[in-house]
Amino acid sequence: MATELETTDRKILELLARDGRMSFTDLGKATGLSTSAVHQRVKRLEQRGLILGYGAMINHDEIGLPLTAFISIRPIDPSQPDDSPERLRDIPEIESCWSVAGEESYILKIRVPTPADLENLLARVRAAANVSTRTTIVLSTPYESRPITGE
């Protein structure tokens, strides 16, 4: 169920989506609230599950993971249990797993150092989850993880 948001709460979410390390003081200046009022609102947004966590934007090229790909998977045997996410949970190269509508059951976002590593990963995914795969390699990323914006 979608949660109705006050304008100020939405503004706080927008600001934190752009900079998760923004101080309560700076959030207060941007929203016209006191530091303590912002702190209470952020705490409430966290408790309501609207803020799930905070993270750093990583330069994957610089840490040796320049190859990003999307792997679409579907079960070889459609009557098998739908447990692919659990079967693949411990494969660290998988950054995200989305359940999707369409021919495939899930789309995985992965990051690896080289095409050979991608080939190895595909074999591991197929074996672990008993699935067929279709892979799309990312050539460039003009933007990613864009923050929400006001209406």
**What pLDDT does 138 receive?**
98
Q: Is the per-residue pLDDT at 3 higher than 80?
A: no
Any idea where the domains of the chain sit in the sequence?
Answer: 7-48, 60-137
pLDDT band at 149 (very low <50, low <70, confident <90, very high): confident
Over the stretch 63-83, which tens digit does the pLDDT of each residue have? 999 999 999 999 999 899 999
**DSSP per residue, the chain:** -PPP--HHHHHHHHHHHH-TT--HHHHHHHHT--HHHHHHHHHHHHHTTS-----PPP-TTTTT--EEEEEEEEESSTTS-S-HHHHHTT-TTEEEEEE-SSS-SEEEEEEESSHHHHHHHHHHHHHHHTEEEEEEE----S--SPPP---
Identify the CATH assignment for 7-48 out of 1.10.10.10, 3.30.300.30, 3.30.460.10, 3.40.50.10470. Answer: 1.10.10.10
* Burial class of 73 by CB neighbour count within 10 A (0 to 12, 13 to 18, 19+): buried
What is the reported pTM? 0.83
pLDDT at 24 over 80: yes
Give 106-136 pLDDT, tens digit per residue.
Answer: 999 999 999 999 999 999 999 999 999 999 9
Q: Architecture of 60-137 per CATH?
A: 2-Layer Sandwich (3.30)
Does the pLDDT of residue 56 top 90, yes or no? no
Distance of alpha carbon 139 from alpha carbon 67, whole angstroms:
8
Does 150 have pLDDT greater than 80? no
